Amino acid sequence: MLSLLITLLEDSNNDGLKYALTECYKNLLDPNVNEHKLEFFDVFYEKLLPKLIDYLAEFPIKRHTRSQVLSQHLIFELLNFCIANYKTDLRYYIINTGMLIKLEKFYTINVKSVRLDMIRLIRNIISMKDEAFYRHLVKNDLFKCTFKILRQMKRESTIYCAILELFNYITKGKIKTVIEYLGEKYYEEICRMNAKAFKDLREEIEITCISQNNVTSL
């Protein structure tokens, strides 16, 4: 069954089968459904997850097919599901394998659904409220592509709104490590943005960082 999912994602144009098998995996991993979920997750974690990430790492930036985009979307769905239900295990995997660094390229693929999947993945990982992950994010400057997209997007676009929601979550959650990082790296850029989410973020940066002299330019 493990190999079947990989085969379908890589080679099949049967969208219905891809959806059905993805839902089957989510049921098997669901702690509210499967009493043997931990045993299955161990197998998934050790054998299937690395193959899924490898598939994503090899995803073509250009000349991808609609079927490939669907496969990518379903893998992101599985990742988000696992993050919601197995936070501790996924934390170690994300950090130790450099998973997000491998997936950064999905910000650059000019397909709305692909970029939205990447933004939602970052949002869900941040919601894990794990300081080790926040340090990993800061160390690898994992918001640089987010700001690159902001420079390109129209303000009324779905992607722009998703990014606003991401920053709004960081601000309201008062995630100090991330706020300090954004202040140090992107304060001037944030100050030039007029959306309320950025005004609120700027205020939080000033509260969190300026007293510590961490904002380099005011």
Contact 45, 89 (CB under 8 A): yes
Same domain, 109 and 164: no
Contact 183, 212 (CB under 8 A): no
pLDDT in tens, 148-179: 888 877 776 889 899 999 999 999 999 999 99
Same domain, 121 and 82: yes
Mean pLDDT of the region 118-132: 89
DSSP-derived letter for residue 44 is I
pTM listed for this prediction: 0.83
Residue 142 sits at φ, ψ, to 5 deg, of: -80, 5
Same domain, 8 and 56: yes
- Confidence label for 27 from pLDDT (cuts 50, 70 and 90): confident
Same domain, 3 and 76: yes
- Both tokens of residue 42? 């161990």
Number of domains into which the chain is organized: 2
Same domain, 84 and 171: no
Q: What's residue 183's pLDDT?
A: 93
Kindly state whether residue 135 falls inside one of the protein's structural domains: no
pLDDT in tens, 32-67: 775 666 677 778 888 888 888 888 888 888 878 888
